[in-house]
Amino acid sequence: MPDFDVVVVGAGHNALVTAAYLAQAGYRVGVFERRKVPGGAVSTIDHEGFRFDLGGSAHILIRLTPVVDELELYKYGLEYLELDPLFHASDAQESWFVWRDPERTALELDQRYPGQGQAYRRFMRDWLPFGQAVKEAFLASPSPLNLGRKMVWGAGFGRDWQKRLPQILRPYGEVAREYFSEERVRAPLVWMAAQSGPPPSDPLSSPFLLWHPLYHVGGVARP
């Protein structure tokens, strides 16, 4: 049995990123996975002559970090298909797109659902600073002091912080209803927030919706 400095149990994408950074730093790292294929939800599997991305993954928030460049993933075959539009929402009556350009998104919304484009602009204006603060918090060393610096002072709320803080503590379904009166606009945004786990009725879950403006900053790509 080799002698490891660090043993990582499970080879999902978060574990692999952690293990790769430890290895870069000179540690002897062992990664153990019970499945035949590493990568967890972002692994690619072969099945009956076809290749499948097991989790149907899109790269979004990772593109706002230095992970891809620092681990030199392009050397190992990573290629991106840039998406624009980023998302598509449709039902039996209507469809609309979230474009990389938020103004183009707002204009399309106003054409289909009058007033909802203006609501989208207000949502972006109110919460883009918060999204940027979330990004900076992700990149900071994890400590209460750093989290406070990035999320409280870095969110750019200024005198509005007393108004914004209660919204951050609420369920994201409620916050979505405050901004968007049209359910066919609100539902896709809530659906995207739900991909992170909690249902729209959970308290303290609004950040999963409020970082939506970051999609326009970093874009969305298929690996």
Query: Does the bond joining 38 to the residue before it have cis omega, within 30 degrees of 0?
Result: no
What's the pLDDT score for residue 223? 87
| 61 token code pair | 């928030």
- Any idea which residue has 């900053």 for tokens? 217
**175 φ, ψ to 5°?**
-65, -40
Provide the pLDDT confidence category of residue 152 given band limits of 50, 70 and 90.
Answer: low
Q: pTM of the predicted model, to two decimals? A: 0.83
Which of 116-125, 156-165, 207-216 has the lowest average pLDDT?
156-165
CA–centroid distance for 186 within its chain: 18
- How far apart (Å, rounded) are the C-alpha atoms in residues 94 and 72? 42
Average pLDDT over the chain reads 88
Q: Are 100 and 86 in contact (CB under 8 A)?
A: yes
What's the pLDDT score for residue 140? 80
Provide the pLDDT confidence category of residue 148 given band limits of 50, 70 and 90.
Answer: low
The predicted model gives 39-67 an average pLDDT of 88
- How far apart (Å, rounded) are the C-alpha atoms in residues 96 and 191? 15
What's the pLDDT score for residue 11? 96
Provide the pLDDT confidence category of residue 157 given band limits of 50, 70 and 90.
Answer: low
What interhelical angle do 172-179 and 183-194 show, nearest 10?
A: 150
Q: Are 87 and 100 in contact (CB under 8 A)?
A: no
What's the pLDDT score for residue 92? 78
Provide the pLDDT confidence category of residue 56 given band limits of 50, 70 and 90.
Answer: confident
C-alpha distances out from residue 181 to 92, 93, 113, Å: 19, 17, 10
Which of 11-15, 26-30, 134-138, 149-153 has the lowest average pLDDT?
149-153
What's the pLDDT score for residue 87? 93
| 95 token code pair | 């469809």
- Antiparallel, parallel or unpaired: β 6-9 and 29-32: parallel
Q: What is the pLDDT of residues 85-136, one digit of tens each?
A: 999 998 878 889 999 999 999 999 999 999 999 999 999 999 998 888 878 8
Does residue 154 register a pLDDT over 80? no
- How far apart (Å, rounded) are the C-alpha atoms in residues 59 and 196? 14
Q: What is the pLDDT of residues 195-210, one digit of tens each?
A: 888 899 999 899 889 8
What's the pLDDT score for residue 130? 82
Residues 6 or more apart whose CB falls under 8 angstroms from that of 179 comprise: 119, 122, 123, 186
The predicted model gives 181-192 an average pLDDT of 94
Sort 214 into a burial class: Cβ within 10 Å, 0-12 / 13-18 / 19+.
buried
